[in-house]
Amino acid sequence: MHEIADVEQALRRAAPHRLVSVVEDALRERCDALRVELRLADYGLRTLQLVERTPGADPSVPIHDSPQGRAFGAQEPYVVQGPASVMLHLPVTVRGDRLGVLTAELPPGVDLRPLFPGLAQVCEALGHEILVAERDTDLYVLARRATRLTLAAEMQWQLLPGRSCARPEFALAAHLEPAYAIFGDNYDWSVSDGRLTLTVTNGMGEGIEAALLTNLAINALRNARRAGLDLADQAALADQAVYAQYRGDAFVSVLLLSFDLATGEVEAVDAGSPRLWRLRGHSVEAIGFEAQLPLGMFEETGYVAQRFTVRPGDRLLFGSDGVYAAVSPAGESYGDRALARALRGTRLLPPTHVPQAMLRELSTHHGGGALEDDALVVCLDWHGTV
């Protein structure tokens, strides 16, 4: 325990760009590690990108066809035994948000079992420090890029709270496509003592204009939430902020929800196009609400929260209009039947895998070509309280 505490302290004291070096030094001393590398998941969740490029190392490896990807996907250590060394791949995850994989090359014959608990703590500490370090260095943000982001996508990704989150009461994950050129779709969540607030947002327009509009709406909703306003008043304040800026020429569609972690009771404000489906057992049902006006369409719009209840075992799927309205070559919208089939077909996957799987199904439904609109999927598994 003292050794782990020493590593954690060394990480906290290190310069933001030297976190990997600190871990490497510690593992060389304590485990006789030959080398250590860190890879972070790219924005598209297709590759693991190397932090601190080293000679001879692949700058990126695929998530779905690599030893590092096995550790990332399963969220468990993955060991590759070689004649000259052992490659140990460890997931780096913070509160359910999968950041990447730490790889340690160790001498052959080393007994790994007693090392696993301590290395898991080191990886968790490293993940926490990466999130803190991103305030002061671009190293880890740059490492996540398999290609250049558009300016609109840069703005949208900076808004996001993470890609996944896990608590005893729930687990949720989200994904956006095209990851490097997203513009209007967005999501936000906040977990406090007793409540989860989840927002699924779609700003009208394209490119930088849509990104600016969504930024305004998300920050207005956060401002209202942090002021202690209830859900309906959060929507009303954000509506006023958007209308004051655009005078009705632009608006934001939003589905705003607040979950009581103890009871599963949910308040919802449906102000536009994002939609919700529930998988309960093998049955998929679209959850409809009384439609209310998008944010910013008219001055001083009033909003009313509606209620429903989630049960332990429920899976909720949220999709933007770029998902359910995407049309197949035969003219069928994805939300008509294909979405329900895909949701049932992915019911055994953990929520961190579902958004990408749904978006792959969407691409197939669309005929394999580029989507006509950006697309957002959020998956929430409700566990409830024990």
For the chain, helix, strand, coil in percent to 5 are 35, 30, 35
pLDDT over 50 at 92, yes or no? yes
Q: What is the dihedral of CA 139, 143, 149, 154, to 10 degrees?
A: -50
Determine the pLDDT at residue 185: 95
- What average pLDDT does the chain have? 94
Burial 255-291 (b: 16+ CB within 10 A, else e): bbbbbebeebebbbbbbbbbbbbbbeeeebeebebee
Q: What is the pTM of this model?
A: 0.94
Which range has the worst mean pLDDT, 66-75, 107-116, 191-200? 107-116
Give me the mean pLDDT over the 174-203 stretch.
95
pLDDT of residue 1: 46
DSSP secondary structure code for residue 327 in this structure: B
Mean pLDDT of 135-161: 96
Backbone angles phi, psi at 210, to 5 degrees: -65, -40
* Residue 136 pLDDT class (50, 70, 90 cuts): very high
Q: What percent of the chain is modeled with pLDDT above 90?
A: 89
Query: Which tokens belong to 366?
Result: 């669309």
pLDDT tens digit sequence for 150-180: 999 999 999 999 999 999 999 999 999 999 9
Q: Worst-scoring range by mean pLDDT, 34-38, 358-362, 366-370?
A: 366-370
Task: Indicate the Cα dihedral angle 254, 358, 325, 160, nearest 10°.
Answer: 30
Q: Is residue 195 packed enough to be buried (19+ CB in 10 Å), middle (13-18) or exposed (0-12)?
A: middle
Residue 54 parent element (H or E): none
Residue holding tokens 């004291």? 13
Burial 146-166 (b: 16+ CB within 10 A, else e): beebbebbbbbbebeebbbbb
Share of the chain above pLDDT 70, in %: 98
Residue 371 has pLDDT above 80, yes or no: no
Cβ 144 vs Cβ 44: under 8 Å: no
pLDDT at position 343 is 96
Top-confidence residue, 55 or 330: 330
What are residue 250's phi and psi, to 5 degrees? -145, 150
| Confidence at residue 372, expressed as pLDDT on a 0 to 100 scale | 73
* Residue 55: per-residue pLDDT: 67
* Residue 302 identity: G
3-state secondary structure of 186: strand
Q: What is the mean pLDDT of residues 279-295?
A: 95
Q: Is the pLDDT of residue 2 over 90?
A: no
For residues 60 and 43, what is the distance between their CA atoms, to the nearest angstrom?
A: 13
